[in-house]
Chains A and B, each alone.
Chain A
Amino acid sequence: MANLNIDSVKARTFDAIVIGSGISGGWAAKELTGNGLKTLVLERGRDVKHVKDYPTTNKFPWEFEHHGQLPVSVTEPNPIVSRCYAFGEDSAHFFVKDNEHPYVQTKPFDWIRGYQVGGKSLLWARQTQRWSDFDFEGPARDGFAVDWPIRYKDIAPWYSYVEKFAGIAGNKDGIPELPDGEFLPGYPLNDVEVYFGDHLKKNYKNRHVISARCAHLSKPNDIHLQQGRTQCQNRDLCQRGCPFGGYFSSNASTIPWAEKSGNMTLRPFSVVESIIYDEKLGKATGVRIIDTNTKQSIEYYARIIFVNAAAINTNLVLLNSKSNRFPNGFGNDSGVLGKYVAFHNYSAHIGAEYDGLKEWTVDGRSPTGGYIPRFRNVYKQETNFLRGYACGFSGYRYQQHKYDGVGSSLKDGLVKGDLSPWYVGSHMMGETIPKESNHVSLDAKLKDDWGVPLLNISVDYDDNDEKMKKDYIEQLTEMFTSAGFKNIQPSTNHQAPGLDIHEMGGARMGKDPKTSILNEWNQVHACKNVFVTDGACMTSTSCQNPSLTYMALTARAANHAVEEMKKGNV
């Protein structure tokens, strides 16, 4: 590099570098700075300061130009992001537009991204269920992917650690396959949700409706108030950013906490081009970034590097970090980098009506709903497909208006209306099996605006997914029917992988460096001062929403990194 000025090198040298400021990068930043490490946090997008940079957060519907609708000038050039449920006139500024960072869809893949400080932690659905050993032991028991190098006991204390700080609402349900955690009071289930839960308890072994655990401050503790956050106000406008800090995001929680330590340097507008590997030292010495405003290439140095660019982009950074030592991508001695990418199957839904409990309803709003933990193939293999699915389950009523005709009768119909019967709805959250053929790779020719190769994404459903989807519809139809629900309407869609926004893998953890990229501490097997703790590290996907596990793995790895630094091992 041209810049050999010693002072300049010093100014660009830190104890640690964190690539990415989303849900896992924020945790890496908090843990490393909290342990006294001078930490550079690199973010490819702009800064988003808590509250100050939530421009729509307190707007009423009529204060939006199109009352919340997106104009064709936004939706037509951006078909991918427009398919995301949270993409609206109130939240569009937090999403990457299709043409801002193109990729090659070898097979259809809806890659939903948030390039800003906080990443997608501003936009997530805030569901936080723990994994159990039924999940960590899955690949070994069922013979797919590779064995996880960790078990529940390894991560359990770290689940507790992150739950206490993030603030997770939930009930102690005592279900072995969905372990209890450190909960704030859970949001209660409504009457029809309770009714269905009782029905399952009476008629099935091992099927439960619980209040879905979620990262909302139902009753903040002192640690949350110290973060400047306060109780969730049940606005249900989370995708705008929450002025109360009612839900967990990097912006509301970990990033300002890291900032407060005085040890964090946050550098937005910094696309990481590659990780720098020093052949003589046998370790990574820093990263090379492109400043997105000046297009200047700059190197930063540190003793340890955390890669938290979000699953697919972490694969991109690693694949693009080539050296004599790693000609096929960083740490890729095994050749599995970019492979065994998996996701969650969200392509089935079922709705129905219930004629009972007419005298009860709800008042106010809940930030979460009901959740049916996985009940298929938990204790033993019992179906013609591997693994299983969790189900969202919610009941609701609404005021039925009349839209007929014109004039004063119509005006009346828009104001008045009787309450509907209870409606219930469920969606499938299916585990998918990581396969070598589901992979991402660098395009040989095409590059992005920063000179980084575009990614080819080749990820698809398989026969196991189809069988599981069929089973979901069959089982839920049967459960709904026996519960006395009427007008049962199952539906399936063909949404592309990616729209679940649970893409995982590509740099999986494993015991054997010959078949995995990362060890049990999320360290690159072949370069121990590089840690990957976002979705890219996932060996299998289970069916729980993954963010809580990323947080716990990150906190665990960061504290291990600090110990190893103290011992002089990295």
Chain B
Amino acid sequence: MSETVPAPAPGPTGVIHDIGYRHYDGPRLGRGSALAALIVHSLRGVFGLGRTARAKIMPFLLAGVMMLPAVVSIAVMAMIKRPGLSYPSYAVTMQAVLAVFLAAQSPYLVAPDLRFRVLPLYLSRPVKTGDYVAAKLAAMAIALFLLVAVPLTTLYVGELLIDLPGPPHTHDYFAALATSVVYAVLLASVGVALASFTPRRGLGVASVIAIYLLSSAISAVLVGVLFSVSRDSAAAWAWLINPFFLVDAVQVWLFGTSPNNDGGYPPGAGGPVAAVAVLAVVALCVTALVLRYRKAASS
């Protein structure tokens, strides 16, 4: 860059010099800052910030839809003085929107780097393969957390301002906030892992949405069939096939909230089993991702 250099007194002043190539002797930060830069870059990408207007439509539309129940609930609370949608049921109620967001945006995080072969450039920088995977997972998890936490917080602020009779549902709010972290981590690992196996965005979107539809359909059919033959305890287990009810069962176990399905989850072992299942799925997906990228790095 050309610079205005104040010349010594006898010469002309304020001359613009092209001073040629300059070496950089400033600070060089470590892996941590590169990781942070990649998380921020990916998070912006998920919401289409710094991209074309078309890339912003889907994420902001879905984020808007996620806000609707909060806004409506606040209006209900203000006008008829009755509580709106409960905090622990927010994510389960909006599961289709979250699933669509996950399907639409997780391929955006990983597919272009594979398709346009940007990955070798990342790997020639001072970061490890694991850092890349961690950054992409973190970006998706933060995006999903924001998607749930922002409406929840809006709703809570609304509740405090309207000041309904009785104490505010502070415990429920924090329970839901903590659970949304679990949702974010589970959904992000599944979505990013599935999306990373194809460089084609369309295929990524289709595979994520297919897994959600399959699991929720299998779960619903099994629950229906088992209920009809009066195997109620087996039906309670069948709910857990749907990832959203799986996390809800963890929420019920950890925070004692009321279940958001019909008939509740298996008593006793249900909660711990659900928690272990969540951890197992996350571990499986992260392992798959690390193996996937280790292979991509050496090819």
Asked if A pairs with B, the answer is: no
